[in-house]
Amino acid sequence: MQPSEMVMNPKQVFLSVLIFGVAGLLLFMYLQVWIEEQHAGRVEKKREQKATPGWEPVNYLQPASRIMTREKIQEQITDQNPKFHITEDPKEEKENLQLNSERPPGVLRQTSHSQGEYQALGKITGPPTIKLIERHQGTRTVFKKFREMKWPLDIHPLNKSLVKDNKWKETDVAQETRRSFLQEFCKKYGGVSRPQSHLFHMVSRIYVEDKHKILYCEVPKAGCSNWKRILMVLSGLASSAYNISHDAVHYGKHLKKLDSFDLKGIYTRLNTYTKAVFVRDPMERLVSAFRDKFEHPNSYYHPVFGKAIIKKYRPNACEEALNNGSGVKFKEFVHYLLDSHRPVGMDIHWEKVSKLCYPCLINYDFVGKFETLEEDANYFLQLVGAPKELKFPNFKDRHSSDERTNAQVVRQYLKDLTRTERQLIYDFYYLDYLMFNYTTPFL
């Protein structure tokens, strides 16, 4: 080959530089994601080591300190790494069994109803390499808008112009006290300028009712089934809350969630709608969840959770129990809850409220409590201008013949636990106890 033939023309030089540049960019993007994943993994491992130790056959539960430092509380508030929650829908069972791990950092949650930026990203056409670069740039735009949002969200005074009845005075005083307490707590311990989680995960438990401009964060075992019935009536999907079945409420997919909107839609609603969360004493909520899911026939929780719990925490379990997962004992369930290496992932029915609704980032305008559910709920309906004839239903959604889970029932279940186990449950829900000013249980 002659020297003159070895000289590349400008077009070839340009293409070569472009190819190497694109390859370098892709390598950089890959390394960036990999480094973030490794860092998140190390952080999570350190947290697990500081938390309750994993299951050991003998004496695996170690007592934790009753007093948490300000830094420890702040760390829990700002711990926004989303974990997969296994839901009750049997249709999603196979998929859920594969989700017992952390969601990779840097990946936004995208629902089938996502709009705006995500639709735009999905419509990008062109060569694969260019398409990948444009998709990456689009994602960076989404993150940039998210970072520019003001966090925590502003808290607004309740609009009480629609409340004409003086009978709500005591309820209103209690409500203002709760709001102020939570706001002061978050000011003292929050200390964050923006969340570390993905926005779409943070709002994934929030239901939207556009007609009356309501955002309701779902906390299972705190009246959520009847609240969904109320939202369906308010949105015109049903005429009465008493005619809506359990399956229609939970599996009907009639209600919209906040993560189904684009960023503008989410942020606009967060800043203009009335945001409500209803909570419950953590220990009571835990026992209620156990009774509902493990003391009655359940085609989902027994095979998915029950089998895994019995296999790991019951020595010499019989073949029948291992095969069907029925008969989980409360003590075994508690061992699963406190195990940092659970054999199956967490579930929304016993996850902390602080990780379901992010109350120090999404400043809720209304904080209701299960202990005063009817009064709080009916007062809230007055505030948002609901029809006068609409009242919050007081019936038990399932297992209506069972005694409601109350303080006396909880004490019966706690009797089977050691003092250390009771203490560790309290430590597990410590942030919820603090945020919502619940009394420390007798341990």
pLDDT category at 19 given cuts 50, 70, 90 is: confident
Q: Check whether 77 has a pLDDT greater than 90.
A: no
Give the pLDDT confidence score for residue 185 in this predicted structure.
Answer: 92
Cα–Cα distance, 84 to 419 (Å, whole number): 30
- Mean pLDDT rounded to a whole number for the chain: 77
Does residue 214 carry a pLDDT above 90?
yes
The label of the residue with tokens 């209690």 reads 174
**How far, in Å, CA of 101 to CA of 82, rounded?**
10
* Largest pairwise CA distance in the chain: 100
Residue pair 146/270 in contact (Cβ under 8 Å)? The answer is no
CA distances from 265 to 60, 117, 208 (A): 47, 11, 11
pLDDT mean over 4-21? 70
Look at 340 and 50; give whichever has higher pLDDT. 340
Region 386-408 average pLDDT? 85
Condensed to tens digits (0 to 9), the pLDDT of residues 243-302 reads: 888 778 877 778 999 999 999 999 999 999 999 999 999 999 999 999 999 999 999 999
Local confidence band at 52 (pLDDT 50, 70, 90 cut-offs): very low
Q: Is the pLDDT of residue 49 over 60?
A: no
CA 309 to chain centre: 22
Domain boundaries in the chain? 166-282+351-402
Average pLDDT for 368-395: 93
pLDDT top residue among 334 and 93: 334
What predicted TM-score, i.e. pTM, was given to this entire model? Answer: 0.71
pLDDT value for 14: 74
The confidence score (pLDDT) of residue 7 equals 60
Sign of CA dihedral 311, 316, 321, 327: negative
Give the Cα-Cα-Cα angle 74, 207, 148 (nearest 5 degrees). Answer: 50
Share of the chain above pLDDT 90, in %: 50
Residues 85-116: pLDDT tens digits? 444 444 434 333 333 333 333 333 333 333 33
Task: Give the integer Cα–Cα distance in Å for 142 and 218.
Answer: 26
